[in-house]
Amino acid sequence: MPDDVPLEAARRRLTAVAPNAWEKLWGWEMLLIATVSTPVLFALLGDHPPRDKAIVSICLLATLPTYLLLGRPAITQGGQVKSVIYVAVLVALFTPAVLTMPAVSFSLFGLCSQCFLALPAKQATVGVIALWTAPAIKIVVTGDTMDEVFNLIVIITVVIFFSSTFGIWIEKITQQSRERASLIEELEASRAEVERLSAEQGAQQERERLAGEIHDTLAQGFSSIIMLVQAAQKQARTHRDPTHHLTLAVQTAKENLAEARALISALTPAPLDSSSLVEAMHRITSRTGHEIGVEAGFELHGTARPLPTRLDVVLIRALQESLANVRKHAAASRVRVVLTYGERCLSLVVTDDGAGFAEPATGGYGLEMMRARVEQAGGTMSVNSVPGAGTTVTVEVAA
């Protein structure tokens, strides 16, 4: 029987890859806005000279359009020069603000993050040091005691050390993630190519199988009809009765028509649209028995359970091919079909009491295609036959 039904009803399609975590900038943008606007708000509400308020407000708020014009394009599109310019502008804007009002150092939470977003970790560390230079100078100059200066140095050292260490570590993780994402995309592309080639190979195999089926059945039948009609014409020209040859031609044409109908039936989807596997097998067995005039029985052992569609198709095709061989070759009077549901496997046994054979007929495609389909589904198929004692076809699949 044909191999036109795929073993898997549907393949998982390739899906668009979601944005990587490090490419989602809205969290960092919110951090920048919060750490810049908070010192501005406190500066405006505090008791500070108007000049100081103006310097802090203008410098810090200017970092936001700087981010939109330089920072975001540098982060999303790349570009070493643009990133360096962006960080340099941040340092230039932050320095006068923090020298005017030391509390502005709160903005470093957001500004240091921008350095690591825009630049590689080592260069970003230089940017962080540049941002911390002005607060350090301010404390050293205005510090009342050496303890305050020492505490500041400790804080700056710890912050720069951990920010650079974690920055380098995160950069390596990000690079590995990008490489793995690229590898996954390559694997998915390779899988798609393999699926395409497999589909083409399956189509080619199906064309070869159909060619063999047509050659073994319809072509041979038409050749016989032509020979019989030609013989009848020759007898008619010699005034002999051509009835015998015409009768044989009609009989051959009927058999050929039956073969054509069987082939068309085999090419249609497995008859499972509105019935279970058991019902479909019972119906196919009964119909075949009526068509070829033999006693055909179907038995179910065990409790039926739902199976994957691909297994249903494999079993249906195996049954159809086995019954087709009975129709074409066995000359049997009885056919018995047994479907057994075990705990971990399912077996189909088709037995006839026909002529049997010592070796399968060469040149046919049916048994070979059935065996290939069963093996592709992870199952096994065996054919046991003895001349004059019938044939037994056994298919077993894990289920």
**Domains of the chain from N-terminus onward:** 21-186 (no CATH), 274-399 (3.30.565.10)
Three-state secondary structure call for residue 299? strand
The two three-digit tokens of residue 378, written as one number: 């992870």
Q: Which one, of 86, 161, 144, lies nearest residue 118 by Cα?
A: 86
Sign of CA dihedral 299, 304, 307, 309: positive
Mean pLDDT of 106-130: 85
Whole-model pTM: value is 0.42
Residue 51's pLDDT is: 92
Q: CA angle at residue 84 from 154 to 169, to 5 degrees?
A: 55
The answer to whether the beta carbons of residues 3 and 202 sit under 8 Å apart is yes
In the structure, what pLDDT confidence band is assigned to residue 152 with cuts at 50, 70 and 90?
low
pLDDT of 146 over the 60 cut: yes
Q: Over 90: is that where the pLDDT of 5 sits? A: no
Q: What is the DSSP string of 203-220?
A: HHHHHHHHHHHHIIIIIH
Judged by average pLDDT, the poorest of 234-238, 335-339, 348-352 is 234-238
Confidence of residue 149 (pLDDT cuts 50, 70, 90): low
23 is written with which tokens? 């490419």
Residue type, 385: S
Residue 362, pLDDT score? 45
Condensed to tens digits (0 to 9), the pLDDT of residues 262-321 reads 667 666 545 555 568 899 899 889 888 887 788 999 999 999 888 888 888 889 888 988
Whole-angstrom distance between the N-terminal and C-terminal Cα of the chain?
A: 22
pLDDT at site 154: 66
Listed residue (306, 245, 233) closest to 272, CA to CA: 306
Measuring CA to CA, which residue among 1, 391, 8 is closest to residue 198? Answer: 8
Q: Which residue has the higher pLDDT, 272 or 230?
A: 230
More confident residue, 249 or 12: 249
Average pLDDT over residues 375-396: 89
Average pLDDT over residues 234-262: 78
Lowest mean pLDDT among 19-23, 69-73, 98-102, 205-209: 19-23
Q: How confident is the model over 125-139, as pLDDT tens digits?
A: 888 888 888 877 777
What's the CA gap between 113 and 247, in Å, rounded?
A: 94
Check whether 198 has a pLDDT greater than 70. yes
Long-range contacts of 196-201 (CB under 8 A, 24+ apart): none
Q: 346 near 314, Cβ under 8 Å?
A: no
Structure tokens at 373: 């389909």
Report, as an integer, the average pLDDT of 61-79.
88
Residue 93 has a pLDDT of 93
Bridge partners of residue 350, in order along the sequence: 337, 393
* Average pLDDT of the segment spanning 31-50: 90
Mean pLDDT across the stretch 328-357? 89
Label residue 395 by pLDDT band (50, 70, 90).
very high
pLDDT at 201: 80
Percent of the chain whose pLDDT exceeds 70: 78
